[in-house]
Homo-oligomer: A and B are copies of this chain.
Amino acid sequence: MASQFGTKVKVSIFGESHGAAIGVLVDGLPAGEAIDMDELSRFMARRAPGLGTHTTPRRDGDAVRVLAGLTGGVTNGAPFAAMIENTNTRSADYHGLMDTPRPGHADYTAYVKYGGHNDISGGGHFSGRLTAPLCIAGGITLQILARRGIRIGAHIASIHGVCDAPLDFVSPNMDALARAASRPLATLSEEAGEQMLAEIEKARAALDSVGGVIECAATGLPVGLGAPMADGVENRIAAAVFGIPAVRGIEFGAGFAAAGMTGSEHNDPFVMEDGHVRTAANRHGGVLGGITSGMPLIFRAAFKPTPSIAQEQDTVSLVEGKAAKLAVHGRHDPCIVTRAVPCVEAAAAITILDLLEEGV
């Protein structure tokens, strides 16, 4: 197991859902960067549960405690470490009870991989709660990037087929994305957000769940980040984004739609703008040959519907080796996409700072 990513800026995530604490270690942050903890809290709040009826009512506070890496609130060049204490810790007798793995979850694969020693309480290290430390790393990274003129924003592009207003790939409205972040659902169109909420409520009423797509844009990137072949921008963004539980696909620029286009439709002509080379359209999503083109970086990630649903499902008893029924108790988000928006921004931010620190 290696819950680590990054080349120069390395992020390592630890913790279990009901363990003592969850946290993150970030190695390789530039020194001399002031971190605004209030701004971090506001960023963290965007993924926190309990903000609306469409998310789980459990509240953890998600109070971030910095352990290392800051001196007087400024990065000191040493590894940054922070944690969130778990107030809702496991009961000892919980362990070992898992017999009927939840469909769509890692219960079964983790059981086999770790020989039954994995912490199953609340999903253990596989819990969506582990995206909180990802957001700590992402939140401080976003502050550092902002000082370098780089902005990152994401919105919910669709939930269960209900689509948000489209994002302009050439000049994404980053202010609009920032405003979207403060809405109940991070959509450009408030109306689309309301329709998505209705979709989520419908799923909840049916003891079911829904999936969706998150679209992310990053502006202000220099030309020349990344590398051809295996170390390209897409490879590295993908490697980070697939670290968010429930992601099933990722695409850049026109993405899968490019497969249905002709070259003359898909190629973005180069143009001169104020002495700079730009492209007239941005179907390439800001990356050509694995290297940033200076156009906005655009990608989308597909999230599956929450696998924990209250409906009775078919599974097996691992102990008895035969079919069994399972009804997942507790309250779960009928749609994790709503809370995953800052996670996607975090994964993008960390990877972009990593690329920046490597240099053009």
Contacts and interface: CB of A to CB of B under 8 A. Distances in A.
Contacts of A203: 262-263
A103 B121 CA distance: 52
A223 B112 contact: yes
A234 interface: yes
Contacts of A50: none
Query: Interface residues of A: mostly helix, strand, loop or mixed?
Result: mixed
Given A232-B242, A248-B252, A249-B255, A227 B2 contact: yes
A67 B67 CA distance: 12
A52 interface: no
A314 B108 contact: no
Interface stretch (A9-17, A54-62, A168-176, A184-192): A9-17
A303 interface: yes
A242 B76 CA distance: 22
A235 B242 contact: yes
A145 interface: no
**Most chain B beta-carbon neighbours within 10 Å: one of A5, A71, A114, A203:** A71
Interface string A311-344: 1011110100111000000000000010000000
A168 B303 CA distance: 22
Contacts of A266: 104, 211, 304-305, 307
Nearest to A26: B14
A309 interface: yes
> Taking the full assembly, how many copies of this chain does it contain?
4
A143 interface: no
A302 B104 contact: no
B67 A15 contact: yes
Nearest to A309: B263
A14 B81 contact: yes
A233 to B, nearest CB: 9
Contacts of A263: 104, 203, 208-210, 305-309, 311
A308 B262 CA distance: 11
27 contacts: A2-B227, A3-B78, A3-B227, A5-B230, A12-B25, A13-B79, A14-B69, A15-B68, A16-B78, A25-B25, A31-B118, A67-B83, A71-B117, A72-B95, A76-B118, A103-B270, A210-B262, A230-B242, A234-B248, A259-B303, A259-B337, A262-B305, A264-B311, A265-B305, A267-B313, A272-B323, A275-B321
Task: Give the 5 A-B CB pairs with smallest separation, nearest first.
Answer: A106-B289, A249-B251, A78-B125, A77-B114, A209-B263
Interface of A: 1-5, 8, 10-16, 19-23, 25, 27-28, 31-32, 65-69, 71-72, 74-81, 83, 90, 92, 95, 101, 103-106, 108-110, 112-115, 117-119, 121, 124-126, 130, 158-161, 203, 206, 208-213, 223-224, 227-232, 234-236, 238-240, 242-243, 245, 247-256, 258-272, 275, 277, 279-280, 284-285, 288-293, 302-309, 311, 313-316, 318, 321-323, 337, 358-360
Given A76-B124, A108-B288, A263-B309, 8 more contacts: A4-B10, A23-B67, A106-B228, A108-B270, A108-B277, A258-B303, A270-B316, A272-B321
